[in-house]
Structure 1
Amino acid sequence: MTVYQFYKRATAALVVCSLAACSSGPSGRSTAPIVARAPVVAPGTVLPQPDGRGDLVRPRALWTPAQYTDLPGWSQDRVSESWPALWQSCQRPGPGWATVCAEVRELGVAWGRQVADDFVRQWLEGHLRPWRLNTLDGQTTGLLTGYFEPLLDARRKPDARFQYPLYRAPADLGVRKPHYTRAELDTLPEARASVAGREVVYLADPLDALLIQVQGSGRVRVQDELTAQGQPRTVRLAFAGHNDQPYQSVARWLVDQGAFTLEQASWPAIRTWAVQNPQRVPEMLRANPRMVFFKEEALLDPQVGPVGAQGVPLIPGRSVAVDREAVPLGTPMWLDSTVPQPWSPTPPAPQSLQRLVVAQDTGGAIIGGVRADYFWGWGDEALAQAGRTKQAMSAWVLWPR
């Protein structure tokens, strides 16, 4: 089981997924070089075996034969931008991908940037066959949500502003199961002793601490550690475990408290409530008993995201999380959806989101035959887009011929 199956995905709003109980957590990040290796298939895994004779059934999806002309917008996407994601996945090829991935690795990670999109498209068409994703009962429309990597300011030592710690895993985390709840870690002396001295960084806002815990990883700019250029050093905090307590959505708790309606729930609404009710913020946070712990990693390449469930770095706009019982990790997918827009009394005309992505991640609430979670990247814009993403979606998988 990957760590992404534990805890993550409420996105920026803690609403799109937190109200839907979308929670898991990023897999542990490895800074070691990624090398090609033989795939490991979990016992009982059912793999598709396309042979052109009819539909294919997976545990949570039905694949039906398709043509590239069936893919809306196929000729318009800049498919070369997806090549680095495919190349990364081919460093850990799954069953059925050995021949295709050998050629991908031989061409190299930069190949897609060196040739025209039409040439990459022709290569894909020659090597991969499209199959439409359906639910087991034949539905072709599903749900697209979004997630991101928080980018926050932090300090190593607490001060009057930075007072909210993120912790390394307690020494007894693997022994005491479940470990102390969030409320117990705040109040019980023996629980507090288990995390004493294990602070990684301190944040300035308790809701930021909740956000990075829900997402399961993030980047922090350490204000009291400067680079040679005099800038705060940016590091990644990777998921290192949790306390085995159940996840409870604070957005749902606020709805139940009458703070706002389900339709009004949003990250700004949560923050507004917190500003208006500062004395109740600890009560709100303790409504979620789950606590997530972190480990620090160097940010070796600031242009890529955290490592996903497949064991490769996520690429903004080209990596998605899927249900691996519907789509094997490492599989290219064609998405047909719309770009999320900010709320407006006069909504603009929908903009198409039609692009090639690669299934490189999983999530505890990402379940079903036509389901994907879109990685937007990091920073404020990614936060905003992830929080808005809850779109209808159709999808196809591209599988070796």
Structure 2
Amino acid sequence: MKNLIFITILIAIFSGCAPKFEKIDNSKANLEKVSFSDIKDFEKDDLKEAFDVFKKACTKSSRKEIFEEVCSKAQDSSNPKAFFEKNFTPYKLYNKDGSDNGIITGYYEPLLHGSFTKTDKYKYPVYKVPDDLITVDLRSIYPQLKKYTLRGKLVGNRVVPYESRKKIAKNGEDDVLLYVDNKIDLYFLHIQGSGKVELPNGDVVNVGYANQNGQQYKSIGKYMINKGYIGGKSNYKASIQGMKKWFHDNPTKVDEVMNKNPSYVFFEKRSQGATGSLGIELVPERTLAVDTRYIQLGMPVFVNTKNPVTNKEINQLMVAADTGGAIKGEIRADFFWGFAKEAEEYAGRMKEPGELYILVPN
């Protein structure tokens, strides 16, 4: 009897400590309402910098009803801390199993070297959207499928899946945007979604995601780990840097490994640098890619994680401004590090535990 009473008391205690999950519109996440004082280092962050990025995001996100009023208020506010605390309610994100820890990875804007003319040096094509690619927005016919887009091509009177990476890589020159000198760097351009290409005369061209072949993204990093090529007891780290070194040392296997990912990205020239799914130019260390099932684009997101190189804590307010094929899950985000070698160093090594808080407009 005493044991039963003891167990009952324990259950009551732990049940009382468990967070009370809430749901909000346009998010499938388990959320716990918290106060700003519960967010580690909220008051230590440079909220002016975060505020400026939020206002930049408002040029696009204010079209959504949830942000319309708060974006209007942002234009008249001069006190970032007061603005966020007065106009938002913070919620902590939890996984389906009740845990509050997820994975924060990083991405960056790579620099490639290329030419608009094919040569012996510049021979790897960056393809623009092909004329025969069909993109069908299904929501006009099936509203319940509003988050799905059908991509394929017409064969006779049937829409069939578009070619995979392996076949597209052998396409002709009709749909080429430009050529680059390194197929490994080109693959990582596909993963990052945007980048810069330096031409022989020193000019730099911005290129960004224009469409995709509709094939499901598959991580070649996981494939390489499972094969023992990187990570584990291999001589290569499980990072972008480790993958690039393995490719460099195993040139005959490069195509075999890359083709394990059938997804293929088509590009277009851009007037500005890396632009996220929200439609704004990404701001280094202040914008994130997220899973929009749980976090809406335009939402301020406070991140608790760490720098993968220095191990210094990162506790700062950012804005959800992008998405990614590999960014799936409640507590899952891709941290945009910016452009150039240092950004690649951080992004390529980043796979850190982290906690996320979203600031929801009142």
Taking structure 1 as the reference length, the TM-score comes to 0.71
Q: Determine if the alignment matches structure 1 residue 240 to structure 2 residue 201.
A: no
Unaligned 5+ residue runs, structure 2?
A: 1-19, 135-152, 155-159
On the 8 A contact 2:194/2:275 being kept in 1, the answer is no
- The alpha-carbon deviation at position 356 of structure 1 amounts to 0.7
Deviates more, 1:94-103 or 1:352-361: 94-103
In 2 relative to 1, CA 279–238 (structure 1 residues): closer, same or farther, beyond 3 Å? same
Tell me, in whole angstroms, the C-alpha distance in 2 between the residues paired with 1:261 and 1:99: 48
Residue 376 of structure 1: how far off its partner (Å): 0.9
TM-fit CA distance, 1:375: 1.0
Letter of the 2:208 counterpart: A
Cα 1:268–1:156 shift into 2, 3 Å: same
What does 1:2-401 align with in structure 2 at a 5 Å threshold?
55-58=21-24, 59-91=27-59, 92-93=61-62, 94-107=64-77, 119-174=79-134, 175-176=153-154, 177-186=160-169, 192=171, 195-223=172-200, 226=201, 232-262=202-232, 264-299=237-272, 305-341=273-309, 350-401=311-362
CA contact (8 A) 1:90 1:105 kept: no
How many angstroms apart in 1 are the aligned matches of 2:334 and 2:248? Answer: 30
Q: 1:57 to 1:136 in 2, by over 3 A?
A: farther
Aligned residue pair count: 313
Helix, strand or coil for the counterpart of 1:57?
Answer: coil
In structure 1, the residue matched to 2:138 is none
Distance in structure 2 (CA, Å) of the matches to 1:245 and 1:66: 40
The 2-side partners of 1:283 and 1:70 are apart by 49
How far off is 1:256 after superposition?
A: 4.7
Letter in 1 for 2:318: V
Q: Which runs of 5+ in 1 are unaligned?
A: 1-53, 112-118, 227-231, 300-304, 343-349
Indicate the structure with greater helix content. 2
Question: SS where residue 289 of structure 1 aligns?
Answer: coil
- Secondary structure in 2 aligned to 1:259? coil
Distance 1:250 1:369 in 2: 23
Aligned with 1:363: secondary structure? coil
CA RMSD of aligned residues (A): 2.3
Partner SS for 2:203: strand
- Tell me the equivalent position of 2:150: none
Contact persistence 1:149–1:217 (CA under 8 A): yes
Write the distance in 1 (CA, Å) between the matches of 2:166 and 2:96: 42
Report the alpha carbon displacement of residue 275 of structure 1 after superposing the two structures with TM.
Answer: 2.8
Change (3 A) 1:161 1:145: same
Asked if 1 retains the 8 angstrom alpha-carbon contact of 2:217 and 2:325, the reply is no
Equivalent-residue separation in structure 2 for 1:103 and 1:391 (angstroms): 35
Contact 1:317 1:377 in 2 (8 A): yes
Q: Matched residues in 1 for 2:108 and 2:162: separation? A: 27
Deviations 1:310-341 (A, max 9, x none): 22222111111222222222111211111212
User: Identity over aligned residues, as a percent?
Assistant: 29
Return the structure number with greater strand share.
2
Matching residue's letter, 2:166: A
Q: Which has the higher contact order (CA 8 A, sep 6+)?
A: 1
Deviations 1:138-183 (A, max 9, x none): 2222221111121222111122322211111221122244223333
